[in-house]
């Protein structure tokens, strides 16, 4: 299973043959294992880096995840059960899959020979809604049947959301305006009748 992240015109491979590539390995906050009781230094996991290698910019609202299986390597297409997990910093943003339930793979036809399928793939789209300025790690966990789960991570940078002002009246403003109009009409009627 190969996994690619796609944004705009960029396509970055994050998983190759079921193994997460360096720079995209999800590292929990404590990436160091405790040392021995004798006071030796802790062992740092070398495959983990403090920050994921890919950062999605503040103007990008979504990222596409392409899952691809080479038919020569594994003729049986894996099933994703249960649905993939998505982790992120809820204080900074909200991230969600736009098309849940996309766990079936579709063969893609080769351009040179439409009858030969060169690979099977499927796409999932992660959409972002930023709440405040900051950077959040996005972690996806794929559960492939009869295999270990696959974790990979990237960063999403958010800018402060713009406040949208509207020319429409608020409810208190509309009520005040309605009372003034009704009061004006009432005074005109009273002056005409008298």
- Tens of pLDDT, residue by residue over 126-166, are 999 999 999 999 999 988 887 888 899 999 999 987 777 77
Of residues 10, 90, 19, the one with CA closest to residue 56: 10
Sorted by sequence, the CB contacts under 8 Å of residue 36 that are 6+ apart come out as: none
Q: Tell me: the pLDDT tens digits for 46-101?
A: 456 566 778 888 888 899 988 888 666 665 557 777 888 899 999 999 999 886 54
Q: What is the DSSP letter of 59?
A: T
Give the residue carrying structure tokens 């713009």: 162
- Please say whether the beta carbons of 65 and 5 come within 8 A: yes
Q: What is the pLDDT of residue 157?
A: 93
Q: Per the structure block, which two tokens stand in for 35?
A: 């040392």
Tell me if residue 186 falls in helix, strand or coil: helix
- Quick check: 108 pLDDT over 70? no
CA distances in angstroms from 51 to 13, 28, 54, 106, 133, listed in the order given: 17, 11, 9, 33, 18
**Predicted TM-score of the model (pTM):** 0.65
Q: What is the C-alpha separation between 178 and 151, in angstroms, rounded?
A: 58
């Amino acid at each position: 299973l190969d996994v690619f992240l796609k944004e705009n015109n960029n396509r970055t491979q994050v998983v190759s043959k079921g193994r997460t590539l360096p720079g995209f390995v999800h590292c929990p906050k404590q990436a160091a294992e405790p040392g021995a009781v004798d006071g030796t230094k802790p062992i740092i996991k070398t495959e983990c880096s403090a920050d994921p290698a890919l950062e999605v910019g503040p103007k990008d609202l979504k990222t596409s995840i392409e899952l691809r299986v080479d038919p020569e390597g594994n003729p049986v297409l894996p099933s994703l059960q249960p649905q993939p997990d998505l982790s992120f910093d809820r204080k900074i943003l909200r991230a969600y899959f736009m098309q849940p339930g996309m766990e079936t793979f579709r063969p893609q036809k080769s351009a040179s020979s439409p009858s030969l399928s060169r690979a099977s793939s499927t796409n999932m789209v992660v959409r972002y809604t930023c709440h405040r300025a900051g950077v959040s790690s996005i972690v996806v966990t794929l559960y492939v049947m009869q295999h270990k789960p696959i974790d990979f991570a990237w960063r999403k940078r958010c800018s402060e959301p713009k406040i949208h002002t509207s020319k429409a009246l608020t409810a208190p403003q509309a009520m005040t305006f309605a009372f003034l109009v009704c009061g004006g009409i009432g005074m005109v009627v009273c002056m005409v009748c008298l």
